[in-house]
Amino acid sequence: MTRLAFIGAGRIAQAIMGGLINQGLTASNMTAADPDPDILDMLPTGVKRSADNLAAVADADVVILCVKPNMAKPVVSGLASVLTDRLLISVAAGIRASDLTAWSGAATVIRCMPNTPALIRQGMIGLYSADASAVQRALAGDLLGAVGATAWFDSDDDLDKVTALSGSGPAYFFYLMEAMIDAGVELGMSTEASRTLVLNTAMGAAAMAVKSPDSPAQLRANVTSPGGTTEAALNVLSAQGLSESLDAAVRAAYERAIELGNSV
């Protein structure tokens, strides 16, 4: 059985641990290290705990780095003596696999970019590694698959694009929901009623887009009758440049991801 060490035991680490236990992984195969004793107290029963990163990694086959991005360099540098024959999987946003390899000396590094819905195990996780074997890729896919859908990419640059699309993406949808709820209130509806209508519509539309063989463009066309209400709304969105705004927004996020990666 693969033994896992989580370095940083906060929200994303706990979500992954919970997902793995839910899938039948034995909790005692996991060790988590965190400087905060209150965080260690919150971990699922059976997970081993430590305040010492080196001690947590001692028996592990795979080390999962779950600290904030600004802590990634000092933390993996501090583990360099033991990482030489381990697989290091990092979920730290924006930290490049090439930098993790240079800092840690780990035999193999896999960089992952999850998004916030991973906290409810409905995340989208992009993965990249320059040197992982097929077996290591399958293992990382299984581990991160505990908190959402996974997809592999070919470079650190690709993961900056993942960051711009699915990493920051939940906020774009939240913004759209927020604006639609406000629009309902402007029409005279209560906030609660508008929220119920908008959130359930968002959930249904997402589920339909995922399940349907049709593209989102086709699904949109299917519900847009000539001269109807949907067409009236879409004409306004088009005339006011929503598509161009989203294109520019995703590009801005991508460029910022590159800048942040360069600044570590």
Ligand X SMILES: NC(=O)c1ccc[n+]([C@@H]2O[C@H](COP(=O)([O-])OP(=O)(O)OC[C@H]3O[C@@H](n4cnc5c(N)ncnc54)[C@H](OP(=O)(O)O)[C@@H]3O)[C@@H](O)[C@H]2O)c1
Which residues of this protein are in contact with ligand X, per CB under 6 A?
7-13, 33-36, 39, 53, 66-69, 71, 75, 91-93, 114-116, 118-119
We find the least distance from the C-beta atom of residue 4 to ligand X, in angstroms, to be 15
Helix (H, G, I), strand (E, B) or coil at 74: helix
Say how many C-beta atoms besides its own lie within 10 A of residue 249's C-beta. Answer: 15
Half-sphere exposure of 4 (CA within 13 A, CB side): 27
Q: How far is CA 161 from CA 21, 46, 253, in A?
A: 31, 37, 8
CB nearer ligand X, residue 71 or residue 249: 71
CB nearer ligand X, residue 124 or residue 181: 124
CB nearer ligand X, residue 102 or residue 119: 119
CB nearer ligand X, residue 10 or residue 105: 10
Helix (H, G, I), strand (E, B) or coil at 107: coil
CB nearer ligand X, residue 144 or residue 181: 144
Q: How far is the C-alpha of 146 from the C-alpha of 140, rounded, in Å?
A: 10
Position with the least CB separation from ligand X: 10
Please choose, from the candidates 210, 115, 128, the residue with its C-alpha nearest in 3D space to the C-alpha of residue 169: 115
List the structure tokens of 162. 């993942």
